[in-house]
């Protein structure tokens, strides 16, 4: 039996930055099985974020086989891999700008 994944070291910082810009953040990392870590809603847009620790060794930043399969099969809205709060905020902001 596989256990749900734990949050990356930088996930709390990323969540705080997103909430600081007014986004609503739902943690999904507990779902496991390759599901992305965060669902973010901002200004009528929803995006899924897979969080990787940018300070971890390169092998620890790779998508797991479950994540690769989940990402490959996803046919919904945007899904991005981010490794910092600046990157996460930038993705969410850019998506809202392209939707207007």
pLDDT 10s digits, 12-26: 999 999 999 999 999
Classify residue 31: in a domain, yes or no. yes
Cα–Cα distance, 81 to 91 (Å, whole number): 10
Nearest Cα to 17, choosing from 79, 78, 93? 93
Classify residue 2: in a domain, yes or no. no
Q: Which domain holds residue 19?
A: 11-98
Classify residue 3: in a domain, yes or no. no
> How many CA within 13 A on the CB side of residue 59?
0
Instruction: Give the CATH number for residue 50.
Output: 3.40.1350.10
Classify residue 66: in a domain, yes or no. yes
pLDDT 10s digits, 3-61: 456 788 899 999 999 999 999 999 999 998 999 999 999 999 999 999 999 888 888 88
């Amino acid at each position: 039996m596989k256990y749900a994944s734990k949050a990356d070291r930088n996930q709390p910082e990323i969540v705080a930055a997103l909430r600081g810009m007014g986004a609503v953040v739902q943690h999904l990392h507990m779902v496991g099985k390759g599901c992305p870590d965060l669902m973010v809603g901002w200004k009528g847009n929803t995006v899924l974020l897979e969080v990787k620790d940018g300070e971890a060794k390169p092998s620890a930043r790779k998508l797991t086989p479950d994540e690769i399969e989940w990402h490959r099969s996803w046919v919904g809205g945007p899904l991005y891999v981010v490794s910092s709060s600046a990157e996460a905020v930038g993705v969410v902001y850019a998506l809202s700008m392209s939707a207007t």
